[in-house]
Amino acid sequence: MQGQMYKPPLTYTNKIIVIFAAVIFFATAILKAYGGIDLTHILGLTPTKFFDGNIYQLFTYSFVQTGLLGALFNCLIVWFIGGDLELNWGRSFYRKFLGYVVFSTGAFYLLISFLVWGTKGGYTFLGLQSLCLSLLVAYAMVYSDRYLTFMFLFPMKAKYFCLLLCVLEIYGVLVSAYAQSAWAHLFAMAFSYLYLRNLSNKAQGKPFLPENWFKKRPKKRPNLSIVKDDKDDEPKYWH
């Protein structure tokens, strides 16, 4: 039935992501409250520390969460959206896709930060948002006509469901003071779409861009003609 809630299995890779993110979340909260240690500046992607040699941040930043509701929401997206993708693609390609998204988005954020502040400035970039947005884009491409239930009340097609969640995610970032994060999230969505579209075109033997994409189209000639009538007193018409 279309209106029923569909619950995909929690696959192996997604289980690791959820557990890893949960452990880091609670460790960050506990250490900050009782030890005065802020893991967000250690594991999050901070340009100043990355350019000082902490290159591991390019991997760990994606699993650092600070807000409870945001962490819970993102983990649910990884579970519900990522489950079917891993089953469909296989574990190897699914992990490759996630790895490309994490590293390319982090590298893009470093580039934006470098252009704005250089090597000695920038905010800490963290969270599962970029990964979740990429999964939503992928799901909308693979299961575009599947019905999902939004807020357990409103059934809608997956492409609209994922688009709505993407808009909510982007809005939550845009209202914050970290514009670089918003651009990084938009990049993650664009990268996911272009990467999957390119693979799809290759599988079908199609070029990434149409062959006539850059060809100059000939100008259309005006389709005008004179229509003569038998009666001389009638006016001429242009069609």
231 — phi, psi (to 5°)?
Answer: -85, 125
Burial class (CB in 10 A: 0-12, 13-18, 19+), 65: buried
Whether the pLDDT of residue 97 is over 90: the answer is yes
Q: Name the nearest CA neighbour of 165 among 35, 74, 95.
A: 74
Q: Map out the domains of the chain with their CATH numbers.
A: 12-203 (1.20.1540.10)
Taking the CA atoms of 107, 111, 117 and 123 in sequence, report the sign of the dihedral they define.
Answer: negative
pLDDT single digits (tens) 35-45:
888 889 899 99
pLDDT single digits (tens) 77-88:
899 889 999 999
Decide which of 95 and 231 is more confident: 95
Average pLDDT along the chain:
81
- How far is it, in rounded angstroms, from Cα 108 to Cα 114? 10
**Residue 238: pLDDT band with limits 50, 70, 90:** very low
Residue carrying the six token digits 């970032």: 173
Burial class (CB in 10 A: 0-12, 13-18, 19+), 85: buried
Instruction: State the average pLDDT over residues 210-218.
Output: 58
pTM of the model: 0.79
Whether the pLDDT of residue 214 is over 90: the answer is no
pLDDT single digits (tens) 124-171:
889 898 999 899 899 989 988 887 766 556 778 888 877 887 787 677
